[in-house]
A and B are shown apart, each in its own frame.
Chain A
Amino acid sequence: DAGVIQSPRHEVTEMGQEVTLRCKPISGHDYLFWYRQTMMRGLELLIYFNNNVPIDDSGMPEDRFSAKMPNASFSTLKIQPSEPRDSAVYFCASRPRQTSTDTQYFGPGTRLTVL
C-alpha cells in the first residue's frame, strides 16, 4: 500500500487567498483525521471523519476552515481566506475501524506558508 497520500507537499500563498489541501487515506480505513502541527501548540486534531461523515470538528479554529470527505478515498481541508497565523504543517491520518493499538497512519504532511 502507498500509505496516506497528501498534496501538495508545500504550499506558499498570500494572505487572503484560498488554500485547499488534499488527502487520500489508506484503502479500507474507516477513520480520517486532519491535524495541524506547530512548534508552539504541537499536534492538534482539527476534525475527524468516520465512514465519510464528519464526527467532531471542535478543533477547527474558526469558520475560515472547512473539511469535506465526498467519498472513502478523498478528503479536502480548505482555508478561506488564509492568514499568516495559519502557517503550519497539516497532516492527514487514517485508521481502520478495528485496531489493537490505536495506530493512526499519517501522511507526509503539507507545509503551508501564508505570507
Chain B
Amino acid sequence: QKEVEQDPGPLSVPEGAIVSLNCTYSNSAFQYFMWYRQYSRKGPELLMYTYSSGNKEDGRFTAQVDKSSKYISLFIRDSQPSDSATYLCAMRTGNTGFQKLVFGTGTRLLVSP
C-alpha cells in the first residue's frame, strides 16, 4: 500500500462548480501538507501549504487537513477552465532537518466552459 493515496480521475466539472480533491495517507508522522498544481507538459508548482490540522484559504482555494482521519482536501470554488490541470498532494514529517516530500499520484481535473 502506498503511503499517500489519491484518485487519479479524471474529474470533469462545468465552469463555476465547486471542486473537491482529496488524499489519504498512512503515516501519522506527516505534519506538513502541500498541494501542487501541474499543467500539461509542465513541472508541478506549489499551490497551497499547510501545517498540521485545520483549514487554510487563499482566494478560491481552501486546503483542509484532518489528521485524525489522515485525510486532506483541496476545495476550489467557482472553478474556471484555467484550473484544468493535475493536482498532486504532497506531505512530509515534522522531524528536524530536511525531510523528503512524499507525493500522491495526482488527480486530473477538467473544467469545461
Contact = CB atoms under 8 A, between A and B. Distances in A.
A54 to B, nearest CB: 13
A102 B43 contact: no
A4 to B, nearest CB: 7
Q: Chain B at the A interface: mostly helix, strand, loop or mixed?
A: loop
A50 interface: yes
Contacts of B88: 42-43
Interface of A is mostly: strand
Interface residues of A, number: 24
Contact-residue bracket for chain B: 20 to 34
B100 interface: yes
B92 interface: yes
Interface string B35-47: 0000001111110
Contacts of A39: 8, 105
Given A31-B98, A56-B100, A104-B101, A43 B46 contact: no
B46 A104 contact: yes
Interface stretch (A12-20, A61-69, A77-85, A105-113): A105-113
Interface of A: 4, 31, 39-45, 48, 50, 55-56, 91, 93, 101-109
